[in-house]
Amino acid sequence: MLRYIFYRLVNNYVANYQNDLITKHYNEVENIYKQMRAWRHDYHNHIQTMKAHLVLEKYSDMENYLNELDKDLTSVDTVLKTGNVMVDAILNSKLSLALSHNININAKAAVPKKLKISDIDLSVVIGNLMDNAMEAVLKIEKEENRFIRVYIREMKQQLYISITNSTCGYVKKNGLSYITTKLGNNHGFGIKRVDSIVNKYNGFINRQSEEGVFATEVMLPL
């Protein structure tokens, strides 16, 4: 009886955490699309303003205006089209957030159509890995040292996911496991969820830390 109660409690906790994570991702994606709609709504006004600068020969003002528009477009740009709608939503929301914090991004991703892993589980894996990368990078004071590299592709009948980020020195380890510095009730739970999902699909995960760099590689059977 006690084992059953414990099992139910763990399952409920996992379900609530996963629902919270999906809601968080949904809100991030929704915010991006709101920004995109707002920019498109203002498109006509932008054109009229630029025309006015040209007519008045205010070329310096025109250049400044274009630079500001370029910054706005960067924040709402669809960074990646992977071939998977769910992965597009998660990655683009995270990468857009990273760009807003002046994090240098290098991302390439192509997801095959047929996957053994469910879209929800895949979004949890990618979402948690990106959140952990962001958490580490934002602790770096010098913005020029902030970077996240994302690489996703099919490799030898496997879905290969690689996320590398800059860090402040080495990431601490406890035995074979790396330690998260996140505070709160969900301390370390994201890492455990990633490991659990990878094991669920008989996949492979590898984490490596060198001075100033942390990398996670995931292989999932197709």
Of the candidates 140, 173, 171, 165, the residue with the CA atom closest to the CA atom of residue 216: 165
Of the candidates 142, 147, 216, the residue with the CA atom closest to the CA atom of residue 178: 216
* Residue 85: pLDDT band with limits 50, 70, 90: confident
Q: Provide, rounded to the nearest whole percent, the portion of the chain with pLDDT above 90.
A: 36
Provide the 3-class DSSP secondary structure of residue 3. Answer: helix
| Position with higher pLDDT, 61 vs 37 | 61
* Residue 203: pLDDT band with limits 50, 70, 90: very high
Q: Distance between CA 192 and CA 179 in Å, rounded?
A: 11
Tokens of 162: 């690689």
Of the candidates 125, 159, 162, 165, the residue with the CA atom closest to the CA atom of residue 147: 165
Q: Which amino acid is at 207?
A: R
**φ, ψ dihedrals at 187, nearest 5°:** -55, 115
Of the candidates 113, 122, 211, 192, the residue with the CA atom closest to the CA atom of residue 154: 113
Q: Is 183 a residue whose pLDDT tops 80?
A: no
Q: Provide, rounded to the nearest whole percent, the portion of the chain with pLDDT above 70.
A: 65
Q: Which amino acid is at 77?
A: D
* Residue 115: pLDDT band with limits 50, 70, 90: very high
CATH 3.30.565.10 fits 80-221, yes or no: yes
Q: Distance between CA 10 and CA 70 in Å, rounded?
A: 47
What average pLDDT does the chain have? 77
In the beta sheet, which residues pair with residue 93? none
Alpha carbon distances (Å) from 142 to 48, 107, 168: 38, 21, 10
Helix and strand counts by DSSP (H, E) for the chain: 6, 7
| Position with higher pLDDT, 16 vs 176 | 16
Q: Enter the DSSP assignment of 212.
A: T
What does the longest C-alpha to C-alpha distance in the chain come to? 81
The domain segmentation of the chain, as residue ranges, is 80-221
Q: What is the DSSP string of 41-77?
A: HTHHHHHHHHHHHHHTT-HHHHHHHHHHHHHHHHHH-
| Position with higher pLDDT, 69 vs 186 | 69
Note the pLDDT tens digit of each residue in 122-159: 988 998 999 999 999 999 999 999 999 999 999 989 99
Range of lowest pLDDT (6-20, 22-36, 165-179, 195-209): 6-20
